[in-house]
């Protein structure tokens, strides 16, 4: 009996150790050391959104993209190298880089709004978030919520709540958006995700299918001149491959390009929950046999994943 109990105890210990050894594939956190960023990642890419401490620099509620060379988690190491060791994350040292300039735009999948009463059909984005909350965190899944108190859309003051879910094995992040505010607004509002097209965007690299709700885009990873110069000075390279971006609206979407934004929008009623998906990756990313060497392989991957959502 003692031997049986001993081996049973050993089995329990081994099982516990194996559980502790599980390596997370998804990660995220609030980043106070970098002006209230909120950053997250899974195997395919890392992202961040901007917080209150950055407000004097006029940030947006858009999404910033960090390119990754492999599924290895890089958020903490990138921040540490930049802010402690002084190695800018805009340079590729072999793990990836931050080269996607957001500014005051929707960035790589952020929320955009337009309304029919605006004669210029402008695309509206908000500013920095006001509050954050982590709702779920595990090695396979990360869910958080950001709240924005002041989203101005053609003179209408709205509040935005966006809940983002990142999961292991999925390229696309899930975004669930609720807008509230001007209860007297009776016009038609259009809400969804947007991808900012940087200078020199080639229409040949833009794809959208409104019936299926899919939009993809590919661009030179060094489209930002500052990142291009920094990488050239470090390693003499004028190329860091291609970054890929995608949007998916499960109900289908109205697609188009306005104000250098590729958008995927749905008609929206204040107070409702709108769900859309966004994701990104890099032509230099690989995970064993899987990679995205060209825009066609990227589109195929998004079409396949969208069919499961």
- Strand, helix or coil for residue 156: strand
Q: Nearest 5°: CA angle at 239, between 170 and 35?
A: 60
Phi, psi of 252 (to 5 degrees): 85, 170
User: Going by C-beta distance under 8 Å and a sequence separation of 6 or more, which residues neighbour residue 131?
Assistant: 146, 147
Q: How far apart are the first and last CA of the chain?
A: 51
46 and 243 Cβ atoms separated by less than 8 Å: no
In this prediction, residues 179-183 reach a mean pLDDT of 87
**pLDDT tens for residues 231-260?**
999 988 888 999 999 999 999 999 999 999
pTM assigned to the model: 0.92
**Nearest C-alpha neighbor of 207 from the set 268, 283, 294:** 294
**pLDDT tens for residues 204-239?**
999 999 999 999 999 999 988 889 899 999 988 888
pLDDT of residue 16: 46
Q: Mean pLDDT for the chain?
A: 91
**pLDDT tens for residues 144-171?**
999 999 999 999 999 999 999 999 999 9
Length, in residues, of the chain: 309
pLDDT of residue 187: 80
CATH architecture of 24-306: Distorted Sandwich (2.70)
What is the C-alpha separation between 140 and 110, in angstroms, rounded? 23
């Amino acid at each position: 009996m003692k031997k049986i109990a001993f081996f049973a105890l050993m089995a329990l210990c081994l099982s516990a150790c194996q559980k502790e050894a599980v390596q997370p594939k998804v990660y995220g956190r609030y980043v106070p050391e970098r002006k209230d960023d909120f950053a997250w990642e899974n195997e395919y890419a890392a992202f961040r959104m901007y917080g209150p401490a950055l407000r004097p620099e006029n940030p947006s509620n858009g999404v910033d993209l960090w390119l990754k060379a492999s599924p290895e988690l890089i958020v903490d190491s990138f921040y540490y190298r930049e802010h402690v060791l002084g190695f800018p994350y805009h340079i590729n040292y072999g793990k990836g880089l931050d080269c996607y300039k957001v500014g005051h735009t929707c960035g790589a999948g952020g929320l955009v709004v337009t309304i029919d009463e605006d004669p210029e059909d402008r695309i509206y984005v908000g500013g920095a978030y006001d509050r954050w909350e982590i709702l779920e965190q595990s090695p396979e899944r990360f869910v958080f919520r950001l709240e924005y108190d002041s989203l101005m859309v053609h003179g209408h003051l709205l509040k935005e709540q966006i809940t983002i879910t990142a999961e292991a094995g999925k390229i696309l992040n899930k975004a669930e958006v609720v807008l509230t505010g001007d209860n007297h607004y009776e016009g038609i509002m259009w809400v969804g995700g947007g991808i900012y097209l940087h200078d020199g965007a080639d229409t040949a690299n833009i794809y959208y299918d409104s019936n299926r709700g899919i939009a993809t885009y590919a661009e030179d990873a060094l489209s930002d001149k500052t990142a291009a110069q920094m990488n050239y000075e470090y390693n003499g390279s004028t190329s860091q491959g291609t970054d890929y971006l995608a949007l998916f609206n499960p109900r289908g979407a109205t697609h188009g390009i306005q104000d250098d934004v590729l958008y995927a929008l749905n008609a929206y009623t204040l107070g409702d929950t709108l769900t859309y998906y966004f994701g990104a990756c890099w032509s230099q990313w690989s995970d064993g046999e899987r990679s995205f060497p060209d825009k066609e392989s990227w589109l195929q991957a998004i079409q396949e994943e969208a069919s499961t959502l």
